[in-house]
């Protein structure tokens, strides 16, 4: 069955985010994802609040990374959250955003290995094991919880083919960072390659496409809202992906440098219509329905409407719940 997820960035006070969370659960969303960036409110404090104000929706970080937070502490956080919302917690983990990590002087070293090792450590801790791990990136010497825990599904945030294949091999789910049908189709192929390599069944892996989404009855307002997240996506894109969509690599470099300098006007002003089309699901409800339908042809099993959602978050959730989701839920 197709699932729908929604992502919130905790840039606003927690009580405002809780209004969105409650509205999303009532609107029929299956999954709630909260982003983990140092310049917003803390992801786990926000998720803890969400666990109190909800009853049904599945929730988790979307996504955390092993470079800013040691995997032992990530395991501790999700295990504690699972006590608050039993059976409703998942862990979204990926390599992180290179531009953000560089801002705080954290190196993204061996991202594929780091993600794989961190998942192994998290699972060992959640299984109640005394984890002694000697990896290339992480090392533990008998790390063990003093409280009872249980296994929590792990979703791997991925964009490149190697990380996507890794998600297929070891993840209960994958969060594909893509919005264009062409990109999603190629990504799903990589995930399925990993699934086949591990001798797993495709139905054992929830294949979610994690989109930059912006809906409004006024297309200009929807587009304006999509510009900031698209600028960050473009800044972090590998050259081959930019070239696939005919986007000038040097333009992406200019946006990256502007973001590093916190020059938002220059960064956002350099975003082109081609970038919006390639890296967001954006437009009126009818336009968004058409793009979602295209994405579903690739074989995804969860569609995630991610930041910014729209010019007005409450209105965007309403449009999603009442005009877009009903087109796909039977």
Q: Which phi and psi angles does 134 have, rounded to 5°?
A: -120, 85
Strand ranges inside the chain, DSSP E? 3-8, 31-34, 58-61, 91-94, 131-134, 139-143, 154-158, 173-176, 206-215, 281-283, 302-309
| pLDDT, tens digit (0-9, with 9 covering 90-100), for 1-13 | 799 999 999 999 9
| pLDDT, tens digit (0-9, with 9 covering 90-100), for 190-223 | 999 999 999 999 999 999 999 999 999 999 999 9
| pLDDT, tens digit (0-9, with 9 covering 90-100), for 238-262 | 898 899 999 999 999 999 999 989 8
Domain ranges within the chain, ordered by starting residue? 3-220+282-327
Q: Could you report how far apart the first and last alpha carbons of the chain are, in Å?
A: 10
Does residue 163 surpass a pLDDT of 80? Answer: yes
Q: Which of 62, 50, 53 is nearest to 6 (CA)?
A: 62
Q: What is the pLDDT of residue 1?
A: 79
Q: Report d(CA 179, CA 298) in Å as an integer.
A: 12
Full-model pTM: 0.94
Q: What is the pLDDT of residue 330?
A: 64
Q: Which CATH number fits domain 3-220+282-327: 3.40.50.20, 3.40.30.10, 3.20.20.30, 3.90.1150.200?
A: 3.20.20.30
- Provide the CB-side half-sphere exposure for 109 (13 A, CA): 6
User: What is the DSSP track for 154-192?
Assistant: EEEEE-SHHHHHHHHHH-SEEEE---SHHHHHHHHHHHH
């Amino acid at each position: 069955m197709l699932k729908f997820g929604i992502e919130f960035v905790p840039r606003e006070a927690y009580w405002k985010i809780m209004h969105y969370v409650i509205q999303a659960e009532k609107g029929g969303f299956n999954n709630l994802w909260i982003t983990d960036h140092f310049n917003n409110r803390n992801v786990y404090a926000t998720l803890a609040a969400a666990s109190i104000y909800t009853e049904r929706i599945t929730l988790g970080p979307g996504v955390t990374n092993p470079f800013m937070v040691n995997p032992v502490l990530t395991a501790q956080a999700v295990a504690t959250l699972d006590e608050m919302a039993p059976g409703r917690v998942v862990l979204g983990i990926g390599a992180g955003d290179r531009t953000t990590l560089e801002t705080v002087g954290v190196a993204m070293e061996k991202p594929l290995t780091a993600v794989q090792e961190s998942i192994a450590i998290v699972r060992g801790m959640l299984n109640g094991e005394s984890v002694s791990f000697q990896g290339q990136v992480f090392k533990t010497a008998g790390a063990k919880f003093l409280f009872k825990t249980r296994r929590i599904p792990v979703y791997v945030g991925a964009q490149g083919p190697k990380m996507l294949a890794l998600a297929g091999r070891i993840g209960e789910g994958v969060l594909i960072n893509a919005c264009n049908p062409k990109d999603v189709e190629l990504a799903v192929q990589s995930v399925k390659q990993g699934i086949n390599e591990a001798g797993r069944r495709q139905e054992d892996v929830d294949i979610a496409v994690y989109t930059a989404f912006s809906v409004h009855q006024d297309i200009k307002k929807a587009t304006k809202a999509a510009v900031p997240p698209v600028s960050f996506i473009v800044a972090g894109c590998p050259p081959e992906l930019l070239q696939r969509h005919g986007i000038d690599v040097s333009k992406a470099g200019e946006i990256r440098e502007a973001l590093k300098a916190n020059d938002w006007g220059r960064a956002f002003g350099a975003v082109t219509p081609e970038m919006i089309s390639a890296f967001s699901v954006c437009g009126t409800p009818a336009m968004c329905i058409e793009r979602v339908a295209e994405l579903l042809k690739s074989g995804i099993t969860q569609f995630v409407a991610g930041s910014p959602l729209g010019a007005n978050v409450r209105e965007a959730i309403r449009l999603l719940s009442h005009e877009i989701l009903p087109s796909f839920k039977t």
